[in-house]
Structures are given as structure tokens and as C-alpha cells.
Structure 1
Amino acid sequence: MIADLLASPVVTAELFGDSVAVLYPEEAAAIEHAVDKRRREFTSVRVCARRALARLGRPPVPLVPGTDGAPDWPAGIVGSMTHCDGYRACAVAKSEAVAALGIDAEPHLPLPPGVEEAVTLPEEREHLARLAARFPGTAWDRLLFSAKESVYKTWYPLTGRPLGFEEASVEFEPDGTFTARILVEAPVDGFTGRWLTGGTHLLTAVVHPRPATG
């Protein structure tokens, strides 16, 4: 699925389920007290990350969560990981080409009651209602939640500051693209991304290219 959203200079890897792997000591220490589900997610998504890094010609290295929960990538690499029930994925690129990127996977199901109101703006809820009337087979509320997660994962490495759900406004196009306007003062005005849905999962991705120099 993820390869359908992202192409060169980004490389990807995914798993539908879990994979067994030996963690580096630093990684194992990070989940020493985690429950089994968390340990399986943590391990399997790092299998994806090592496969993706290998496709860039990079050796495997420890990928330890930083203070924001995202892994500390090797020098010269930007990346993003995601996992949900039944799916794990990673996307990486060389930082000379891509400034930041974010991916997110979710189950293709409506959000639990009350969550949509907590993560959307009034204008977004009106937008989702129009989309749902035209395309009722898509869980648009969950897709918007996912898009904001991808936006956040792209935003944070660029700015080093949090971004609330109410500080970005997302609008989807039926062609599989979306735009996100940043509603606070920021070094970037917004992001563009891509989305897709399948029978069991949905995915969103944002790639913010490195500005050209000349």
C-alpha cells in the first residue's frame, strides 16, 4: 500500500502483521517494560525501517525513540514510521532531497464517538459531510485524523514545536491528494499530501522537499 503513495526519492517498506527480529540493546531498553502488543509493534516497524534503509544503501542501526517518540534517524536520513492493528510501515529518504516526511496508517473504520469533534474544525466537519454524501464508502473522519498525524510528523522536525489538531485545516480531493493549511505563525504555510484507502486500512503521507538552491 505505502509504495502506491510514495515514490523516489522516498523508499518504503511495509508488513501486514508482525516479524521477529533481534533488537539492538538500546532499542530493547526502550521497551523493557512495555506490554506484548507494544513490543510487537515496536519490533516489526523497525524491521520495516531496516529494510527501507537498506534500499538506500544504509546499514542497520539502532532506532531509539527521541523525546517526541519519533526515532532518531541516522545522519543524512529523514523518515517516518507508522503502525496500527495488522499493518506496519516505514518511509525514508536522503535529507539532501527531502526536508521532512510523515506517514500514518489507520484501520479503515469510523472514529469512535466524540473523537471527530475533538480533532476537527467546524469547516472540516462540513467538508467531511459533503465528501461522505458523495463517497459513502470511505471513513472520511478517520482519514482526516490520519492526515493530521502525517502533517504533524512532517511539521515537528521542521519546527521543533507541537501542532494542535486545531492548528491545521485539511481538505481532501477525490483524486487521492489533500492540502493542509497551517493556522499559526510558522516557517511553512502548509503541506500537500496523498491518501488512499483499502478494505481494512487507510494511509496518508506528506513529503516536504528540500528547497532548491542555486
Structure 2
Amino acid sequence: MASLLSAVPVTVVETHDDPADAVLFPEEEAVVANAVAKRRNEFTTVRHCARTALKSIGVPPAPILPGQRGAPRWPAGVVGSMTHCAGYRAAVVARADEVTSLGVDAEPGEPLRDPDVLGLIADETERAALADLGARHPGTPWDRLLFSAKESVYKTWFPLTGRWLGFEEARVELDPAGTFTARLLVEGPVVDGVELKVFSGQWIVRDGIAATAIVLPVPPPAAR
């Protein structure tokens, strides 16, 4: 994830392990009090990553609790996103005066296991594009990347709108060069008086992980 976001004003902390020194605040402990070990480890480690990232930008440690629809509630003046999958956890944070919103997602770097899932997340145009990409660039889990990209779209969208966004409400076009474009098929969020209809992101497949990320920088004053 860090290499994916090296050119933007964000801080990334990632790990492939669950560190023994990762701990939770009491308020967070209450959230996972009855969770199975896998869920508890993911929840704990990704918040450890988040607090490490926040410390690097001068924000003191604080509970990061799930809010509406499970979205993390970040400290004032901070935007961020967290993700985890088998063998990987990551948190990305930025100052709200530099980044408007961001979304990251990590998945196993392999094709979707259930072929029926593709029909739920992709429309006919997207499925045709995936077939073409698979023919031209075999070996890349394009369907998994599409799923991940749509997760990143939602994570970027939700803090700006507070509304659900279905898989069918954004059309994603993946580029073999490591980028993607998401065109919203519904009314987009308005930022500084401008409706956002397109999100641009990046993707990578490395070390068994397929990851995607979107960062919306704060527009420069002249553009507002």
C-alpha cells in the first residue's frame, strides 16, 4: 500500500502480522468483546496501524470506533481508511486540510472464488472489459481488483455523503498500467461547490495481496 500512495500527502502503516503489543481502548474492547479470534485480531491490528499513522502526523492516540455503517470515526481534522484481509492489515491517514477523502482496500491476490459474485458487482460493460483484460493480461486477478476498486470507491464516497453506494452505482474501468477510473452513475458528492462524478485511483498486486486506493486531495485555493 505504501508504494501505491507514495506520491500523495498521506501516511501509510501496514503489516503482515498481528503484533503482540497491539492493544485496544476500553471502548474498542467493548465492540469486539464477543468476537471470534480472527475478527478480534483484525480489529486490533488495524487500529494499531491507524494509531501509529496518527502519531506520525502529531495526533494523540484515541479510540477509533465504528460509526454509521461501520465506517471508522476519525479524530477531528483527520481523514482516513483502514483495510484488512488474510495476512495483511493497513491504515492510511491524512490531515483534512490536505485530503478531502480517501479509501483503500486490500484483498487476497487471487481470482474471486465464487463466480456468482461477479454478476453481483459488475455490469455487462464491466464484465466485457474484464474478459478483454484477462485475454490480454492473463495472470492478473482482474475480477478481484474490480471488487477491491469498488470497495475503495465506497470508502471514499461515504464520508462525503453519509449514504450507501451500491456496486451497480459506480462503473469501474481498470487500466493495466496500474490505475482505474470510477464513474458514478448516481448524483455525486459536492465538494467546494463542484459535483464529483469521477474518482481516480491506483491498484497493485504484490506479495499475494491485491490493493486499491483513491485519494481526493483538497483543491488548491485557485481551483475553489
Report TM bin, short chain.
Answer: over 0.9
Q: Hey, what does 1:160 align to over in structure 2?
A: 162
1:204 aligns with 2:212: yes
Query: Partners in 2 of 1:209 and 1:158 — Cα distance?
Result: 13
Q: How far did residue 156 of structure 1 move?
A: 0.4
Q: Tell me how many residue pairs correspond in the alignment.
A: 213
Asked if 2 retains the 8 angstrom alpha-carbon contact of 1:170 and 1:180, the reply is yes
1:115-134 aligned within 5 A: 115-134=117-136
Cα deviation per residue 1:21-69 (whole Å; 9 max; x = unaligned)? 2210000011111111100000010111011111112111111111221
Q: Secondary structure at the match of 1:13?
A: strand
Q: Hey, what does 2:79 align to over in structure 1?
A: 78
Q: Which segment is superposed worse, 204-213 or 137-146?
A: 204-213
Q: Hey, what does 2:5 align to over in structure 1?
A: 6
Cα deviation per residue 1:151-194 (whole Å; 9 max; x = unaligned)? 00000001111100000000011111100000012231010000
Asked if 2 retains the 8 angstrom alpha-carbon contact of 1:82 and 1:88, the reply is yes
Q: Hey, what does 2:88 align to over in structure 1?
A: 87
Could you tell me which amino acid in structure 2 is paired with residue 88 of structure 1? R
1:23 aligns with 2:24: yes
TM value normalised by structure 1: 0.97
Query: Partners in 2 of 1:36 and 1:199 — Cα distance?
Result: 24
Asked if 1 retains the 8 angstrom alpha-carbon contact of 2:23 and 2:48, the reply is no
Query: Partners in 2 of 1:186 and 1:102 — Cα distance?
Result: 16
Asked if 2 retains the 8 angstrom alpha-carbon contact of 1:19 and 1:43, the reply is no
Query: Partners in 2 of 1:38 and 1:151 — Cα distance?
Result: 23
Match of 2:201 among 193, 197, 211: 193
Gaps of 5+ in 1: none
Task: Tell me the percent identity.
Answer: 58
Q: Secondary structure at the match of 1:12?
A: strand
Q: How far did residue 213 of structure 1 move?
A: 2.6
Query: Partners in 2 of 1:27 and 1:65 — Cα distance?
Result: 9
1:101 aligns with 2:102: yes
Q: Hey, what does 1:169 align to over in structure 2?
A: 171
Asked if 2 retains the 8 angstrom alpha-carbon contact of 1:108 and 1:202, the reply is yes
Could you tell me which amino acid in structure 2 is paired with residue 104 of structure 1? D
Q: Secondary structure at the match of 2:177?
A: coil
Q: How far did residue 208 of structure 1 move?
A: 1.1
Q: Which segment is superposed worse, 18-27 or 167-176?
A: 18-27
Q: How far did residue 212 of structure 1 move?
A: 2.6
Q: Which segment is superposed worse, 52-61 or 142-151?
A: 52-61
Q: Hey, what does 1:36 align to over in structure 2?
A: 37
Query: Partners in 1 of 2:164 and 2:143 — Cα distance?
Result: 22
Query: Partners in 2 of 1:79 and 1:22 — Cα distance?
Result: 20
Asked if 1 retains the 8 angstrom alpha-carbon contact of 2:45 and 2:89, the reply is yes
